[in-house]
């Protein structure tokens, strides 16, 4: 379990009596409790903190603000898989040195949005507005999907909601083994558990409080036996010493416990960062070696390894995966069309041009949508 414990709680007054608020408080034990009315005022009055450990000491229970269900924003000049996002948690205690949250979260605490019924109302509205349209949704953009599941029991709520709603495919993304509640409930077949994976040397050096690769894949195998599908996210792939040997062993171990038919999809993405993230990494994780390589500024204002290096890394992992099974559904996350062509030999369409049906065909039916005219 994550060793950082909440030291105090702020509760938005309008959700003070919400059943989820009371449920979470009952699991926290004796803890300082405060109330507030306005999130912006709370942020302004709070002491500024930067390190994820410090952000993870204060919990805020509030109602969701802004757009509830939204498409992944993608990134300029790079292809997107048309993923939809629900931000249930804002903030994460796992302590990954490369975590993009360091670069753009402005609140000095962890937020749990307790009004889950608002999410379900929005999903039902979407279902009525676009009948028959299939949509892939996840909750792991601004916080690990399962790290606080023992407090919130959100996994049970989502499982109950998505049962029988086959037009939805819902993914929990995690670096933990906090899957007990999932195992206590039967999957309806449209629930995917996504595990971020990397060689353990990356986990040891850059993912302070994450579960080991062995622990994650053993948890994944247990979930498969309970009827769940698994996603694998090799993201970020990192240029490390003995990379070929390390990633070969990683893939070999994963598929010593999992079968190709257990996998819903596999995403690949190399390490990338913004200027703000670089500053936060240097401040929060001065021992990290990730920034010691050479990088190039790309069209989306993110720094990446030079294209030949990214291509080599992708081909390396793809070759290891194809040695297992050539039909594994693989896609690249936030990559340029040129790199797609160089590595997978396909171009699934641009962020704006690839329909949801085409994307789902690519991921689940192994069909390829090729469009002419590669953008620079």
Summarised one tens digit per residue, pLDDT across range 3-44 is 558 999 999 999 999 999 999 999 998 899 999 999 999 999
pLDDT tops 90 at residue 314? yes
CA distance linking residue 28 with residue 184, whole number of Å: 22
Token output for 46: 């709070």
> 101, 52 in Cβ contact below 8 A?
yes
> Residue 34 burial by CB count (10 A; 0-12/13-18/19+): exposed, middle or buried?
exposed
Kindly report the backbone phi and psi dihedral angles of residue 134, in degrees, each rounded to the nearest multiple of 5, phi listed first: -90, 140
Residue 376: is its pLDDT beyond 50?
no
CA atoms within 13 A on the CB side of 160: 10
**Residue 81 has what pLDDT?**
59
Residue 149, class by beta-carbon neighbours within 10 Å (0-12 exposed, 13-18 middle, 19+ buried)? buried
State yes or no: pLDDT of 220 exceeds 50. Answer: yes
The listed range with the strongest mean pLDDT (4-8, 312-316, 370-374) is 312-316
Of the candidate ranges 37-51, 77-91, 248-262, the one whose mean pLDDT is the lowest: 77-91
pLDDT in tens, 127-154: 888 787 778 898 878 899 999 999 999 9
CB count within 10 Å of CB 214 equals: 11
Q: Is the pLDDT of residue 173 over 50?
A: yes
Joined tokens for residue 338: 């040129």
pLDDT at 1: 53
Indicate the pLDDT class of residue 87, thresholds 50, 70 and 90. confident
Whether 356 has a pLDDT exceeding 80, the answer reads no
CB contact set of 126 (below 8 Å; sequence gap of 6+): 69, 135
pLDDT band of residue 293 (cuts 50, 70, 90) is very high
Pick the range with the lowest mean pLDDT from 31-45, 53-67, 286-300, 355-369: 355-369
pLDDT at 266 over 90: yes
């Amino acid at each position: 379990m994550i060793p950082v414990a909440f030291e105090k709680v702020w509760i938005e007054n309008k959700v003070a009596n919400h059943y989820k608020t009371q449920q979470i408080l009952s699991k926290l034990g004796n803890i300082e409790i405060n109330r507030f009315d306005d999130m912006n005022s709370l942020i302004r009055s709070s002491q500024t903190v930067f390190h994820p450990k410090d952000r993870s000491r204060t919990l805020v229970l509030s109602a969701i603000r802004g757009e509830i269900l939204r498409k992944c924003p993608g990134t300029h000049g790079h292809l997107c898989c048309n993923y939809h996002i629900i931000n249930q948690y804002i903030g994460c205690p796992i302590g990954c040195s490369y975590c993009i949250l360091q670069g753009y979260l402005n609140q000095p605490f962890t937020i749990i949005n307790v009004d889950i019924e608002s999410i379900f109302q929005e999903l039902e509205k979407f279902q009525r507005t676009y009948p028959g349209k299939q949509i892939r949704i996840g909750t792991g953009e601004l916080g690990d999907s399962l790290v606080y599941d023992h407090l919130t029991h959100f996994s049970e709520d989502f499982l109950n909601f998505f049962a029988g709603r086959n037009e939805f495919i819902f993914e929990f993304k995690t670096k933990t083994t906090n899957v007990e509640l999932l195992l206590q409930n039967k999957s309806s077949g449209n629930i995917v558990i996504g595990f971020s994976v990397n060689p353990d040397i990356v986990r040891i050096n850059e993912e302070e409080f994450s579960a080991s690769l062995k622990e994650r894949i053993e948890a994944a195998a247990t979930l498969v036996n309970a009827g769940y599908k698994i996603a694998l996210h090799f993201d970020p792939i990192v240029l490390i010493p003995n990379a070929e040997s390390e990633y070969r062993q990683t893939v070999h171990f994963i598929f010593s416990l999992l079968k190709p038919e257990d996998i819903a999809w596999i995403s690949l993405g190399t390490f990338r960062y913004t200027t703000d993230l670089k500053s936060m990494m240097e401040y929060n994780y001065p021992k990290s070696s990730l920034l010691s390589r050479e990088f190039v500024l790309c069209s989306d204002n993110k720094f990446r390894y030079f294209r030949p290096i990214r291509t080599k890394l992708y081909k390396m992992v793809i070759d290891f995966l194809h040695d297992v099974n050539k039909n594994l559904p693989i896609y690249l996350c936030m990559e340029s069309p040129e790199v797609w062509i160089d590595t997978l030999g396909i171009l699934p369409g641009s962020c704006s041009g690839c329909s949801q049906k085409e994307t789902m065909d690519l991921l689940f039916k192994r069909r390829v949508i090729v469009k002419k005219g590669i953008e620079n």
